[in-house]
Structure 1
């Protein structure tokens, strides 16, 4: 049974079963849990790792495999979403365009068609990106800081 599937950034993390208990250790701090509590912890961690944030026009989904999906809010077809390798990959896309940029400028980062507009809206709406809406016609964003914030 995989109790802790992924714990990024901490090489000192492990979990093991000891009889009817599960021991979880993070950076030397151990937590001994009954199996039922450990299963609830696993489910809570899974929910946190696959968190969905909804905004006015877009939504962002963190998948268990580490990928990050930007999608039109309420849309259900693959044409209305863009999967990035990770949230950091999207952060990298945000660094590339000039200080003021349009959806067309995102073409240089490999985005095509309506996905450019969707991703631009997401950068504007998501609080981890220092990007503000500069104009709706044409859809234009403006960076409000030189570095992209951590989520």
Structure 2
């Protein structure tokens, strides 16, 4: 990744300015100036646009950063509005997750105003997404547990709901 792309994706509020003339585009990021040909600037624009609208599919859910800055959680393979929940941004989903108890289910998610089957979808999404220290604790009833930074994958949903052998 070029230094210019790294600067764009650094995650902070770095000041950015751009200007153009007939020959090139000048982009200044945090005081460092980059001079790009128009074709290089177009490639950069495409790369930034692709990153801003990134869609990641997990096992049962998907997350998409949309052009308008919102973050959409949806069921994989579903195409109706009833199978999606749109947040103002990813941080809104993060705040929802932070308000949930250490062990939570769809009813807990429902207390935040999310209704219907989208509650279960959100439980699954935070368990599948690597940004959340969470995993499925049981499938029936669907319940997730915050792991507090432990590695994902230490307990699968099948292990958590497996029947123990009789003594």
TM-score normalized by structure 1? 0.88
**How far is 1:10 from its partner?**
2.9
For 1:108, the equivalent position in structure 2 comes to 111
Q: Is the aligned partner of 1:77 residue 2:80?
A: yes
Secondary structure (helix, strand or coil) at the match of 1:56 reads coil
Contact 1:25/1:31 (<8 A) preserved: yes
| Structure 2 residue ranges without an equivalent (≥5) | 1-7, 150-167
Q: Provide the C-alpha distance between the structure 1 equivalents of 2:13 and 2:27, rounded to a whole number of angstroms.
A: 13
**How far is 1:66 from its partner?**
1.4
Q: Is the aligned partner of 1:96 residue 2:99?
A: yes
CA deviations 1:48-80 (Å, max 9, x no partner) are 011001000000000122110000001111110
Could you say which structure has the greater relative contact order, defined with CA pairs below 8 angstroms and 6 or more residues apart? 1
Q: Is the aligned partner of 1:138 residue 2:141?
A: yes
**How far is 1:18 from its partner?**
2.3
CA deviations 1:93-150 (Å, max 9, x no partner) are 101121101111111111101000001100000000011110000000001118xxxx
Which of the two has higher C-alpha Rg? Answer: 2
- List aligned pairs for 1:55-66, cutoff 5 A: 55-66=58-69
Q: Is the aligned partner of 1:36 residue 2:27?
A: no
RMSD of the TM alignment (CA)? 1.6
Q: Provide the C-alpha distance between the structure 2 equivalents of 1:41 and 1:97, rounded to a whole number of angstroms.
A: 39
| Structure 1 residue ranges without an equivalent (≥5) | 1-5, 147-151
Number of residue equivalences:
141
Q: Provide the C-alpha distance between the structure 2 equivalents of 1:87 and 1:114, rounded to a whole number of angstroms.
A: 20
TM-score normalized by structure 2? 0.80
Q: Is the aligned partner of 1:18 residue 2:44?
A: no
Contact 1:10/1:27 (<8 A) preserved: no
Contact 1:134/1:140 (<8 A) preserved: yes
